[in-house]
Amino acid sequence: MLFNSFSFGLFLPITLLIYWAVGFKKIKTQNAVLLVASYLFYGLWDWRFLFLIVASSLVDYFAGLAVANSENRNNQKIYLYSSLLWNLGVLFIFKYYNFFIEEFALLFNQNQGEYMFSSLNLILPIGLSFYTFQTMSYTIDVYKKRIEPTTNLLNFLCFVSFFPQLVAGPIEKAGDLLPQFNKPRKFIAEDTKDGLRQILWGLFKKMVIADNAAIIVNMVYYNPENYGSYSLVYASVLFFFQIYGDFSGYSDIAIGTAKLFGFKLSRNFNVPYLAKGVTDFWQRWHITLTRWFSDYVYFPIIQKNLRSTTRRIIAILITMSLIGLWHGANWTFILFGLLQAVLMIMERLPMGRNRKTSFYYRKPRIPSFLMPVFTFPFIVASCILFRSQSMDQVAVIFERIFSFISSENIKELLNRKFLFFLFILVASEVYMRHKNFPLYQLDKHLNRPTRWVIYYIFIILIFRYAGPKEDFIYFQF
């Protein structure tokens, strides 16, 4: 069930009515409603993968309890590693097995099928990377004694499968989300209205910006050999806005939907095109993923040797490569991660002995407000890696861009209406950059008729100018 589908338009109000109708004092019943709704939401894609979610939830629930109940540190480690083995094993089999087998076969010049391992014909369960990371964080946090394990199975199942963020995040830490299932939820009309406004804003970003950008991007990337330098740069810039509109739109809808049920989810995007560097970019883009990798990969590698330059370089390289690999089993994603790592290292690490001489710490000669202009080309270059189907295509695109081939057909790619909508997006987000989203707490500033006119305009824009329905890009991850 897609957030931008008719089915969800029916599913959400019905679930919401039942949820609040049972009364806020009956937490168990409300959680049971959420669990059934979440499994229904997920099962409508492919009911077979429900077993996988339930299995993952049970493994981590019991692993968490076992870790907490065991006093022997070695036993705790065994329970933790068992949980990690399960989670990473499932992830590896569904997402990475074919990639590694094929690359291995290629490396040793073995034809597929003749080799002792053959590739598997498996569908990648939607949202696998998201909920696996969420459940892993629970067991690790219990092991590290950052949180107490829950003894309420229902709440834990809800935490893993909470439908607003189940298939594409935000990836929540157990310490943030799980306690919310234990507490009674209050119906606050202002929060609910904000939730609805955030859903509306998310739908605008997804359906008007991302889906329209997709038309041009798909056309150009389907056959990049037909396009000149400017057209390829233009399409790559649009791809940035496509993926931003798509994923941040999804996050807005998820956060807004959670608000309707009285839950608070983490912010996942913070106007990333205003980033003043690549490091800053990753603190504004898919914030919950960056936070996850920082907490569970980057900092554990560095440990106490924060001043060790070598360790920091290694930590950045490993973390960003894994972030790249998290996005998909393809060399383009690995290279994408490595490119981010190299840029971050260049920004953050001292050039000499003096740490303050690094680009990142040195007072920039470029005025602060111009920094995003210098960062954006690097982000767009990374987008080319992200969007390309193969390394060959990456090579073709970069070669054509830097050959400065004329772009006679660029006029066919320019769509004034779409560019105007893009302007609305960027202008409103930049202007309202200190708020969670541009329509945030609108009732504090505008009267009801004006607000309703704004909402209706957005609804008309969505209906009238929505692009062809595209899947959310991050579902594949």
Partner 1 sequence: MLVPKRILSIFNFSGRQLRFLKYCLWFFVPVVIAYIILEIVVVNTPINFKIIGQYYREHSDEIELIGLGSSQMQSAFNPAYAEVKAINFASKSQHHNEDFHILKQTRKNFPKLKYVLLEVSYSHLELPHHRDDYWKNSIYLNYYGVNGFGRLTTYKDKLLYLSNPRFFSNQLTDYYIFQIDKSKFNQYGFDTNNYDGPFNEMGFDEAKIAQHNFQKLNNEDLSIFNRNTAYLYRILDYTKAENLQVIICTTPFYKTYLKARNPNILRRRDSILQVIEKKYGNITLLFQENDTLHFTVRDFINENHLNPDGAKKFTGFVNQKLDSLN
Q: Between 3 and 285, whose beta carbon lies closer to partner 1?
A: 3
Q: Between 4 and 251, whose beta carbon lies closer to partner 1?
A: 4
Residues contributing to the site for partner 1 (CB under 8 A): 6-7, 17, 20-23, 187, 189, 192, 219, 222-223, 225-226, 408-409, 412, 452, 455-456, 459, 463-469
In whole angstroms, how close is the CB of 308 to partner 1 at the nearest point?
A: 47
**Phi, psi at 439, each rounded to 5°:** -95, 10
In whole angstroms, how close is the CB of 381 to partner 1 at the nearest point?
A: 23
Rounded to an integer, what distance in angstroms lies between the CA atom of residue 336 and that of residue 382?
6
Is 327 catalytic? The answer is yes
Here the tokens at position 374 are 């210098």
In whole angstroms, how close is the CB of 408 to partner 1 at the nearest point?
A: 6
Q: Between 223 and 403, whose beta carbon lies closer to partner 1?
A: 223
Which candidate in 286, 327, 434, 445 is catalytic?
327
Q: Between 230 and 455, whose beta carbon lies closer to partner 1?
A: 455
In whole angstroms, how close is the CB of 447 to partner 1 at the nearest point?
A: 14
Q: Between 19 and 333, whose beta carbon lies closer to partner 1?
A: 19
**HSE of 7, CA atoms in CB hemisphere, 13 A:** 9
Q: Between 174 and 233, whose beta carbon lies closer to partner 1?
A: 233
Contact call for residues 218 and 51 (beta carbons, < 8 A): no
In whole angstroms, how close is the CB of 189 to partner 1 at the nearest point?
A: 5
In whole angstroms, how close is the CB of 463 to partner 1 at the nearest point?
A: 5
Which residues does the annotation mark as catalytic?
A: 327
